[in-house]
Amino acid sequence: MWLLTVLVPLLRLYLCGMKVLVYQMFNRSFSLPVLPKQNGRVAIVTGGTRGMGFETARHLASLGMHVIIAGNEREEGTVAVRRIHEDGGEGKAEFVFVDLTSLKSVRQFVQTFKARGLPLHVLVNNAGTMLVPERQTEDGFEFHFCLNYLGHFLLTNLLLDVLKRSGKPGCCSRIINMSSATHYAGVIDMEDLNRRNCYSSHGAYSQSKLALVLFTYYLQEQLMAGGFSVTTNAVDPGMVDTALYNNLWSLAQALKKPVAKILFRTPAEGASISIYAAAASEMEGLGGCYLYNGVKRQSSDLSYDPELQVQMWKKSCELVGLQKA
């Protein structure tokens, strides 16, 4: 039983990875269209100190946005901000500390942001981790579940009032959730979201990415029902050569290196889908999409289950201490 619980998620995740690699073998990364200037707009990008998050922050700043890089590595944040300013774009960047594995830290970040009285037009929930050994956060949550999903769930909900005020008809605020193809392998166990019965890092990672898609669809429905000028979309960057893969087994690391050089996307290519969702004119007013390689794709059958969406929303509200909608 233990072997099946660990082996099945592993095989499902790597099968997803193989499918993505085959696709990337025969399909180039899409090219961003000419994007409109974003002067006067404010964005928050989590995990924006390196990899796809940095490339997203850099590009949005080049379009004129005021970009707040939210992360937990202060030195990396300082370097990222300096590099963006050296590019000489029309926008600006700054780093603000937040630890998405700490609900207290997320609340402090939001409190600090709101005290400044800034609007918020774009929220890119980019930060994440993959295949880390079993560990719990200070609040007792499984690490993937909290960093990839639950921290972003709380962050988004606490910032929702600002996003609603900042969005206008024809100029919506936008929420972008970074999922991945591994969500197709994801399974949600409402009775064991923290994976305590039998831990699988592959299963935990896939679950967190599926949770983000469920969150995206349910939130979009609520925003539409309320008539708010805010959209939310999930994006899939494909397989990208970033530090996420540092936790692979030694053999997998060795096998990955030559493959990555040929078939993996660069961080800039991977970030293009987040940038597109955040700034493209074609995405104005469009929400509830799962975007991959520049187009809307069908996500997993499970992600469209309305009952599961509601269950996940209510349980997440309970876990982070929010009033259920």
- Cite the active site residues: 205
> Distance between alpha carbon 24 and the CA centroid of its chain, in Å?
21
C-alpha dist (Å) from residue 303 to 46, 215, 217, 308: 23, 9, 8, 8
Strands (E), the chain: 42-46, 66-71, 92-97, 122-125, 173-178, 230-236, 290-292, 295-296
C-alpha dist (Å) from residue 227 to 84, 119, 323: 36, 19, 20
Cα 210 to Cα 223: distance, rounded to the nearest angstrom: 20
Closest CA to 172 of 286, 2, 37, 30: 286
Structure tokens at 166: 């900042």
Indicate the SS3 state at residue 109. Answer: helix
Burial class (CB in 10 A: 0-12, 13-18, 19+), 66: buried
| Torsion on CA atoms 147, 150, 152, 158, rounded to nearest 10 | -140
Q: Which residues contact 150 (CB under 8 A, 6 or more apart)?
A: 141, 316, 319, 320
Closest CA to 239 of 52, 45, 12: 52
Q: Which amino acid, residue 289?
A: C
Cα 285 to Cα 271: distance, rounded to the nearest angstrom: 21
Burial class (CB in 10 A: 0-12, 13-18, 19+), 318: exposed
Structure tokens at 310: 């509601």
Q: Which residues contact 270 (CB under 8 A, 6 or more apart)?
A: 29, 51, 52, 55, 237, 238, 240, 242
